[in-house]
Structure 1
Amino acid sequence: MSTSIQETELAHRVASALTGIQPGLSVGELRTLPGGHSGLTYSVTAGDGRYVVKAVPPGQRAVGRNDVLRQARVLSALAGSPVPVPGVAAVDETQPAWFAMDFAAGEALEPVLDDPEVPPATARARMLEIAHVLRRLHETDVDAPGLDAPPPLGAAGELERWSRTLHAVPAELRPGGEELLARLTEDVPADLPSVLLHGDFRLGNVLCVEERAVAVVDWEIWSVGDPRIDLGWFLLFADHRNFPDLGRAVTGLPTEDELLAVYLDGAPALPAMDWFRALGRMKMAAIMGHNLRRHREGKHHDPDQERLPPTIAAMISTARDLLG
């Protein structure tokens, strides 16, 4: 079956579901939303409403990042909670599965990486705001009805997972990577009680209006595990110097210590944060190295990937520095 035929069938299923919610609504065409890295993502109007549809790609299995029903589960479990998320409007488990969620207006921009530039005062306020949001996410009940959370992933499991990714990157693209992995492995911290993890929590995945966070999006790799896994990743985006040749200086962004203080909200400091900050840098080096390798092998042509080597090297070097 051709992709166009499958998209036509998906459009029919979406229209049928949305008109089932409110009979008589006029449903528009599915329009591809740019920027998605998993599954198929569309926008669609229904009456005065607008929705985002996420669907399993034709011919692919609903696993990993393509498991859209898993994404719908976590959004439904967080509905009405202190964590802002888009509302789930419809779920269709018939394969290829899809779900529709409310379209949340706003900007999801990394101040030090993305265009257009965010005014410094706004960037600072947004970062402090989502530090509060991350705390509220980590206070969510992992036994919430319908969440069906996976087994917890601790520090050792997260390290093993991303070590495999980094090892798949040619050695010349990850200078010092083996030493970093060895040092991370020799001193894995004991796990804290497990919480609900976003997996890629940062301003680039939080829609904001002015200084207010209105929706945390992109839940493809959510899991349950040590809260410091999310924290170590989030803190990485507070300083443009972590991204040589890529980042821009933004005046007045919160420091990592400021963000941690907001997250903790008076609670005791978390142990071994330097290890998790180093882990976050290793993960970024692995992701960038993977993308650069794919470009150089001709699997995904993107000349912009050639800007990554200085940042990959810096991620590995500063991670080793953090470990002492």
Structure 2
Amino acid sequence: MSTTTEETALARRVRERLAEHHPGQEYGDLRTLPGGHSGLTYSITAGPVSYVVKAVPPGRRPIGRNDVLRQARILRALAGSRVPVPMVVAVDESEPAWFAMEFVDGEAIEPVLDEHKLDPEPCRRRMLALADVLRDLHGTTSAESAEPLDPAAELAMWSRTMRAVPLELRAGADDLLDALATRIPDAIPPTLTHGDFRLGNVLCRGERPAAVVDWEIWGYGDPRIDLAWFLLFADHRNFPQLGRAIPGLPTEHELLTGYLDGRPEPPAFDWFRALARTKMAAIMGHNLRRHREGTHHDPDQERLPPTIAAMIRAAHDLLDRRP
């Protein structure tokens, strides 16, 4: 079947299920939403109401980022919690699986990396508010389950990614991975984690988070992993030739203080800050390799080497700091 035929069949299935909520309404076309990195992402209207549909690509197995049903489960588990998420309205497990959720109107902007015209003060207030959301996420209990990922397993996963990056793009990375491996901290009780928690994955209205999105890699793991990743995006200087200065943006210390809300800093936190930089370097190196090999053509990836090098250097520096 052609892509058009497959999308037509998917649209029919979606309309049939949405008709349960909107009998007698007219339905719009299934339109591809740009920017999605997991499965297929569409929008559709049912009368005056808009929905987002996420589906497994035809012929693909529903695993990893394509496991849209796993995403639907965690969204449903978080419904009604202090963590704002889109409401799931329909789930269809027959192949190819899909689910529909409410369309949340809002902006998802990463202040130091995205091109935008948002004033600095809303950027500041959004990030401070998001620190509270992350604390609430890590304090949420859910009936959903996943195999907990401890610091050693997290490091092993990103070590594999880093070692697949060509040597010329990751100078100093092997020594860094060895240093991380010899200093793996003790685990603390696992919590629900997002996996890519940052302002660019949160739809905001004005200064407030309206919905945390992109739950492709949620899991149960060390909350320090989520926290260190979130803090990484507070300072444009972490991203040479990529980042932009935003006056008044909260510092890592301010965000950490907001998240902790009077609690002490988590133990061995510099190790997790170093891991976050290692993870970023590995992801960027992987993306640049794919571009250069022709797997995913994106000339903008050629801007990444200075940031990859800076992330590796900063991770070394964090590990060398005395407690």
TM-score (norm 2): 0.98
For residues 204 and 23 of structure 2, the distance between their equivalents in structure 1, rounded to whole angstroms, comes to: 32
User: Match of 2:147, SS?
Assistant: coil
Letter in 1 for 2:301: Q
2:277 is aligned to: 281
Quick check: 260-269 or 201-210, which moved more?
260-269
**1:188-267 mapped onto 2 (5 Å cutoff):** 188-267=184-263
1:296 aligns with 2:309: no
For residues 55 and 246 of structure 1, the distance between their equivalents in structure 2, rounded to whole angstroms, comes to: 32
For residues 110 and 32 of structure 2, the distance between their equivalents in structure 1, rounded to whole angstroms, comes to: 23
The offset of 1:22, in angstroms, is: 2.5
Equivalent of 2:180 in 153, 177, 184 = 184
The offset of 1:45, in angstroms, is: 0.5
For residues 58 and 309 of structure 2, the distance between their equivalents in structure 1, rounded to whole angstroms, comes to: 37
1:63 is aligned to: 63
User: Match of 1:42, SS?
Assistant: strand
TM-score (norm 1): 0.98
Deviations 1:162-210 (CA, angstroms, capped at 9, x unpaired): 1000000001001110011011000000111110000000000001111
For residues 308 and 288 of structure 1, the distance between their equivalents in structure 2, rounded to whole angstroms, comes to: 7
> Conserved in 2, the CA contact under 8 Å of 1:19 and 1:27?
no
Aligned length: 320
The offset of 1:117, in angstroms, is: 3.4
Quick check: 263-272 or 213-222, which moved more?
263-272
1:11 is aligned to: 11
> Conserved in 1, the CA contact under 8 Å of 2:33 and 2:41?
yes
2:110 is aligned to: 110
> What do you get for the CA RMSD once the two structures are aligned?
0.7
Letter in 2 for 1:193: P
For residues 27 and 18 of structure 2, the distance between their equivalents in structure 1, rounded to whole angstroms, comes to: 8
Equivalent of 1:172 in 159, 162, 168 = 168
**1:57-96 mapped onto 2 (5 Å cutoff):** 57-96=57-96
For residues 196 and 84 of structure 2, the distance between their equivalents in structure 1, rounded to whole angstroms, comes to: 16
2:303 is aligned to: 307
The offset of 1:234, in angstroms, is: 0.4
Letter in 2 for 1:51: Y
> Conserved in 2, the CA contact under 8 Å of 1:229 and 1:276?
yes
**1:144-183 mapped onto 2 (5 Å cutoff):** 144-145=142-143, 147=144, 149-183=145-179
1:22 is aligned to: 22
For residues 238 and 129 of structure 1, the distance between their equivalents in structure 2, rounded to whole angstroms, comes to: 13
Letter in 2 for 1:154: D
Quick check: 311-320 or 15-24, which moved more?
15-24
Letter in 1 for 2:109: L
Letter in 1 for 2:2: S
For residues 123 and 129 of structure 2, the distance between their equivalents in structure 1, rounded to whole angstroms, comes to: 10
- In structure 2, stretches of 5+ residues that fail to align are none
**1:134-149 mapped onto 2 (5 Å cutoff):** 134-141=134-141, 144-145=142-143, 147=144, 149=145
For residues 266 and 251 of structure 2, the distance between their equivalents in structure 1, rounded to whole angstroms, comes to: 16
The offset of 1:118, in angstroms, is: 2.4
User: Match of 1:20, SS?
Assistant: coil
For residues 258 and 25 of structure 2, the distance between their equivalents in structure 1, rounded to whole angstroms, comes to: 44
For residues 63 and 80 of structure 1, the distance between their equivalents in structure 2, rounded to whole angstroms, comes to: 27
> Conserved in 1, the CA contact under 8 Å of 2:229 and 2:276?
yes
> Conserved in 2, the CA contact under 8 Å of 1:152 and 1:223?
yes
